[in-house]
Amino acid sequence: MADRIGKPVSQRQLRVGEMIKQSLGMIFVRNEAKVPNLETNTITVTEVKMSQDLKIAKAYVLPLGGKDADEAIIKLKEYSFLIRKVLSQKVILKFLPKILFAKDESFEYAEKIENLIKQTNK
């Protein structure tokens, strides 16, 4: 696995990404971030990718059933400072990374591939 620049992802990036993924998951399940007009306990964190310098965390999230995913992402981006504040109490790092939220489209992609395979097998 390599990032955009082509450098391989380090073990440290993977470990920190997994730690942030677990922490964000717990924050959302327990609704600790108190994001207005958003039930965070329905949000799943599928993956967190860390930048080389560990200062940016890109969190791929998906609401339960994929409903209103775009609206949820907008809310998460808008209130990322609240989520980051709660995260700062959960993880101990030299620098708490900035969190960027993105919709996880891997399930849609997998479903599309599966449908294409089914069509070719007919």
Summarised one tens digit per residue, pLDDT across range 25-53 is 899 888 888 888 888 788 888 899 999 88
Task: State how far Cα 100 lies from the chain centre.
Answer: 8
Q: Considering the entire predicted model, what is its pTM?
A: 0.78
**Mean pLDDT value across residues 93-104:** 87
- Identify the pLDDT of residue 66: 67
| Mean pLDDT over each residue of the chain, to the nearest integer | 83
- Identify the pLDDT of residue 1: 44
**Mean pLDDT value across residues 53-64:** 89
**Mean pLDDT value across residues 107-117:** 76
pLDDT above 80 (res 76): yes
Window from 26-35, 59-68, 75-84 with minimum mean pLDDT = 59-68
Domains of the chain, CATH where assigned: 11-121 (3.30.300.20)
Distance CA(3)–CA(25), nearest Å, equals 23
**Mean pLDDT value across residues 95-109:** 83
